[in-house]
Structure 1
Amino acid sequence: MEGAAIREKPNIWALLPVKRLKGAKQRLSPVLSEMERTELARAMLLDVLLALRHAWGLAGVAVVTADTEARNLARQHGATLIGETDGGLNEALDNARLTLHAQGATSALIVHGDLPLATAEEITTLIDAHPPGPAATFVPARDGGTNAMLTTPVDPFPLSYGEGSFARHKAAAEAAGLATASLVLPGLQLDIDTPEDLAELLRRGAGGHTMDYLLASHVATRLQQAAGNSSGSEQ
């Protein structure tokens, strides 16, 4: 019981930034129509919301967005809403972290909405692995981005999302005197930005809203056939 009391002490809030869903994921334009990209973004957001909702150790989930549909989905899943500023992702999240701090949060877990293989189990693993005291725990993306980041306190350093952000965030955490840890969590490491990412998702063949959409819409079949034809033409 004593150990359980210690584990329940941190007030950890998840922050989930969501861009405009309509026409999202422009880098997938070569293989998906605008409507397909919109539906894919919506399905991935649902998968992440469900993973966060069922993870152990979170005091709450706050969605940072100006998108009407994303706000409606957030409400349906019990998430708090924080308005998005006009200054881009880093400014929006920095402002959101200030909001959480003012409301008494001790830690912030930033997770992005394009992680269709995210699970409650992996998020709980991330929370459990977070060092005590001032600390930052990361799950880097396969391309060097930052797919998940848990910090105590909520806002120990300015955010620097963009290409290669993991290295910048880790360096900033160390410069701020935080203990750091990095985890390899396969579900959280796969963000969907490119046709190659989408192919990897189909290769893994996991469940969830995203895979349900890709299968029901026949997008998966079309992409797999295209990949087969491309492979055959190279032989």
Structure 2
Amino acid sequence: MPLMPADVSFVVIVPVKPPARGKSRLDTFSPADRRDLATAFARDTVAAAQRTPYVDAVLVVTDDHRFASVLSTDGCEVIPDGVSNDLNATLRQAAAECVRRWPSAVPVALCADLPCLVSDDLAAALAQAQGPSFVRDADGTGTTLYAAPYGEFDPSFGDSSADLHLLRGADEIAVPAPSLRLDVDDPADLAEALLLGVGPHTAQAWARTEHLT
């Protein structure tokens, strides 16, 4: 486990679409199964973040009240989505809330679809997060993690986000961290995730849907 300075801590922000609307590219599954998988991905992502050293809290941003209740039971702080249809504005608003609640912590935006995530990979990335920093996804074009002190927190999630983060001066975190890079959007991603190893919520959801694929 990487060593961090004693005075450094993080709050992980996880934006989550209402599971009923998430993972539309998992179109080999029924709507109910896609909802269950999206829920499981987020719960496993959050659980890994909660286990990570130097993470003070996990703040989930979602407008799904039922899912918010589940995540509150899982030990997360939950706030509503403040800016509909604008992920980066939502993250900036959530970062402001982080500073209000945890003034000394660095806000970290983390994708919610990382069912393989293990705390060692997240900790290894956070250990290198000096100033605005990001982790490129497994496909090479997207971003799964963005961290910056509040005054510099300006994420650019969306198409070609990795290049956008570089253009805007963020440093790329180069740790291997395979579980942190594998965001699941489609059936091929899910197959790769199952080979790498998924968390318990995703394993249970997969067991309920496996016979349909």
TM-score of Structure 1 vs Structure 2, range by shorter chain: 0.7 to 0.9
- Please tell me whether residue 71 in structure 1 is matched to residue 68 in structure 2: yes
- Please tell me whether residue 190 in structure 1 is matched to residue 182 in structure 2: yes
Alignment of 1:3-152 (within 5 A): 7-29=5-27, 31-85=28-82, 86-103=84-101, 104-131=103-130, 135-143=131-139, 144-151=141-148
Which structure shows the higher helix fraction? 1
CA contact (8 A) 1:18 1:113 kept: yes
Which structure has the higher relative contact order (CA within 8 Å, separation 6+)?
2
**Structure 1 stretches lacking a partner, 5+ long:** 224-235
The CA deviation string for residues 29-88 of structure 1, in whole angstroms up to 9 with x for no partner, is 2x1110000000111111011101111001211111111122112211222122212242
Q: CA deviation at 1:186?
A: 0.6
Alignment of 1:149-228 (within 5 A): 149-151=146-148, 153-174=149-170, 181-215=173-207, 217=208, 219-223=209-213
Larger Rg, first or second structure (1 or 2): 1
CA contact (8 A) 2:62 2:79 kept: yes
CA contact (8 A) 1:138 1:182 kept: no
Distance 2:158 2:135 in 1: 15
Call closer, same or farther: CA 1:222–1:180 in 2, change over 3 Å. Answer: closer
Call closer, same or farther: CA 1:9–1:210 in 2, change over 3 Å. Answer: same
Helix, strand or coil at the partner of 2:55: coil
CA contact (8 A) 2:115 2:198 kept: no
In the alignment, residue 126 of structure 2 is paired with which amino acid?
I
Call closer, same or farther: CA 1:71–1:129 in 2, change over 3 Å. Answer: same
Distance 2:197 2:127 in 1: 27
Helix, strand or coil at the partner of 1:10: coil
CA contact (8 A) 1:13 1:105 kept: no
TM-score (norm 2): 0.88
**Structure 2 stretches lacking a partner, 5+ long:** none
The CA deviation string for residues 144-187 of structure 1, in whole angstroms up to 9 with x for no partner, is 11111222x1241532211210111122134xxxx553332110
Q: Percent sequence identity over matched residues?
A: 25
In the alignment, residue 16 of structure 1 is paired with which amino acid?
V
Aligned length: 208
In the alignment, residue 185 of structure 1 is paired with which amino acid?
A
